[in-house]
A and B are shown apart, each in its own frame.
Chain A
Amino acid sequence: MGNITLGRYIPLDSPIHKMDPRAKIMAMLLVLVAIFFPAGWIGYAIIFAAASLTIILARLSFTFIWKAMKPMLFMLVFLFVINAFLLKTGDPLLTLGSFTLYSDAVFQTLYIAVRLLLMVMITTCLTATTKPLDMTLGIEDLLKPFQKIHVPAHEIAMLISIALRFIPDLIDETERIIKAQESRGVDLKEGKIMERIMAILSLIVPLFVSAFQRAEDLANAMEARGYAPGEQRTRYKVLKMEGRDYILLFCAAAILAGMVWLAYYR
């Protein structure tokens, strides 16, 4: 599981790491929206430059972004094949027998590839520099205004933070169960359909049983320590916006405004 990079927190000491998660989440949302405006290559170049700058400031390496991007490549190849067969506009680029590849197929795929790359860069800037718990605190605060329309902001945040807390444990548990069943002759890679179904069942059932056990233990531990959903509680971690957070928000808003301008008013 060590090779999944998308969405992983990288503990480093950088100005981006120190920023308020609320500012980072908001900035990310603004720039993500900006990507969807048809601002052309200039627009993408600007966003790319801004994202690159953030990555450098956050001391992340570009190979890390590349690794996060890798799983998407398969999707892009797939998309390109579909586009090549369906999109028949633009200039013909190459002909193989009865099949002709048109320029729009290439450009469309490239367009999506660039957007995808930018999205991965932007989200990685957030997830790699923000501790999962800080992220949930940020989400909780940002959802607070919606409490008036009965959005359970605190409960959502608690749910996410507990899920995050237990993901590594569940991964360990899964590995352990896989090994235990392999010792009983389960072969996850080969076998007939029925054997495969049994193999998967032999993982899923124990995983569920142990997850339920965990959930029960956890509920008891939380209740015993005075947790009651919906009740008033204080909060240990208090978030505070500083100058640099406002600068980040301003930059993100400027990028969004720039993209709108590039797309519609130029």
Chain B
Amino acid sequence: MPISFEHVGYVYSKGTPYEYQALKDVCLEIEEGKITAVIGQTGSGKSTLVQHLNALLLPESGEVHILDRVIKAGDKPKQLKSLRKEVGLVFQFPEYQLFEETVLKDVAFGPKNFGASEEEARKRAKQALKMVGLSEEYYERSPLELSGGQKRRVAIAGILAMDPQILVLDEPTAGLDPQGTEAMMKLFHALNHTYGKTILIVTHDMEQVFRYCDKVVVMEDGGVRIHTDKDTFFSDPDACRKMNILPPVLIRMKELLKANGFEVADDIITENALADCIARQVKKHG
């Protein structure tokens, strides 16, 4: 079991008037080799949760198991670097972490920190840039001159170049246009399918969860409210709404069709399948 949380609690600003319990007794197991979406309202503890995965935050109570390590509350873990190499964490708006003169140097920064030689780091940087779809012509350009979407790709490549087993992304598509969002999600899908990376995505975008993720974790008020398969999760749109989650448009369309006398099977999850289903019924009557 590569990642599990056992009764994890976390408190911000402990002992001050601003004390705030962000995680409460979280128990959670994340499956290897899957794309898991972490959703929930702002302030529900999503970001706090994922920052435990590479020990940027250490549990106040309980324990976190990541790969072959155990981080217990109260311990002062050593060798965090080796953990951070294996769990790549991409923050929200990661373009703000770029600082080197050239794209290639910036992407090579991570591997170098983890002890790769200059040559090895460059090689990995080139591979990572290729994965995110940035060609050679960008290598020597300043990362600060690129467009917003390109900058974000460079930042993500900077994490990929570390060759982590687990990739954690905090709202990776925030602020991108629909086209940029789509391309970004396709990238994560490929990283999962082609390179076998375990991926966790914190997001608010249900369309993306519906199309690209395997598992859904719903955080609420510092705890895990639901952890299930994506399809099971969206099969009950009313339950989604109760948690203030607007179901994806395809699910809403299915609901509307059912309410108007159409028969729509639960296992229809693509636009083409839905179009087939509608066409069949309309023609039958025609």
Contacts A/B (CB < 8 Å), 30 sampled: A2-B13, A2-B16, A177-B97, A179-B91, A180-B89, A180-B94, A183-B54, A183-B56, A183-B84, A183-B88, A183-B89, A183-B90, A183-B91, A183-B159, A184-B97, A184-B110, A184-B113, A184-B162, A185-B81, A185-B110, A185-B114, A187-B81, A195-B113, A201-B99, A202-B97, A202-B99, A202-B109, A206-B98, A206-B99, A209-B144
Are B109 and A177 in contact, with the CB atoms below 8 A?
Answer: no
Q: Which B residues are CB-close (under 8 A) to A165?
A: none
Within the assembled complex, what's the spacing in Å between the Cα atoms of A149 and B275? Answer: 77
By beta carbon, the residue of chain A nearest B82 is A185
6 further interface pairs, Cβ-Cβ under 8 Å (given A180-B89, A187-B81, A206-B97): A176-B91, A179-B51, A183-B159, A187-B113, A202-B99, A206-B96
Are A182 and B56 in contact, with the CB atoms below 8 A?
Answer: yes
Q: Which B residues are CB-close (under 8 A) to A220?
A: none
Within the assembled complex, what's the spacing in Å between the Cα atoms of A209 and B100? Answer: 12
Give residues 182-209 of A contacting B (CB, 8 Å).
182-187, 195, 198, 201-202, 204-206, 209
Smallest distance from the beta carbon of B71 to chain A beta carbons, Å?
Answer: 15
Interface of A: prevailing SS: helix
In this complex, how many residues of chain B approach chain A with their Cβ under 8 Å: the count is 26
Contacts A2-B18, A185-B114, A202-B109 hold; do A210 and B162 have CB atoms under 8 A apart?
A: no
By beta carbon, the residue of chain B nearest A185 is B113
Q: Which B residues are CB-close (under 8 A) to A14?
A: none
Query: Cβ of B85 < 8 Å from any Cβ of A?
Result: yes
Tell me which of B90, B96, B97, B110 has the highest count of chain A C-beta atoms within 10 A of its own C-beta: B97
Smallest distance from the beta carbon of B152 to chain A beta carbons, Å?
Answer: 13
Query: Cβ of B158 < 8 Å from any Cβ of A?
Result: yes
Within the assembled complex, what's the spacing in Å between the Cα atoms of A147 and B133? Answer: 58
Query: Cβ of A100 < 8 Å from any Cβ of B?
Result: no
Q: Which B residues are CB-close (under 8 A) to A198?
A: 109
By beta carbon, the residue of chain A nearest B99 is A205
Q: Which A residues are CB-close (under 8 A) to B97?
A: 177, 180-181, 184, 202, 206
Are B113 and A180 in contact, with the CB atoms below 8 A?
Answer: no
Per-position 1/0 for A107-143, Cβ under 8 A of B: 0000000000000000000000000000000000000
Per-position 1/0 for B2-26, Cβ under 8 A of A: 0000000000010010100000000
Within the assembled complex, what's the spacing in Å between the Cα atoms of A179 and B114? Answer: 16
Within the assembled complex, what's the spacing in Å between the Cα atoms of A209 and B144? Answer: 9
Q: Which A residues are CB-close (under 8 A) to B113?
A: 184-187, 195
Within the assembled complex, what's the spacing in Å between the Cα atoms of A204 and B284? Answer: 67
Give residues 64-105 of B contacting A (CB, 8 Å).
81, 84-85, 88-91, 94, 96-99
Smallest distance from the beta carbon of B156 to chain A beta carbons, Å?
Answer: 12
Within the assembled complex, what's the spacing in Å between the Cα atoms of A198 and B158? Answer: 15
- Choose from A176, A177, A185, A201 the contact partner of B162 (Cβ within 8 Å): A185
Contacts A2-B13, A185-B113, A186-B113 hold; do A179 and B81 have CB atoms under 8 A apart?
A: no
Q: Which A residues are CB-close (under 8 A) to B114?
A: 185
Within the assembled complex, what's the spacing in Å between the Cα atoms of A51 and B153? Answer: 57
Within the assembled complex, what's the spacing in Å between the Cα atoms of A195 and B81? Answer: 14
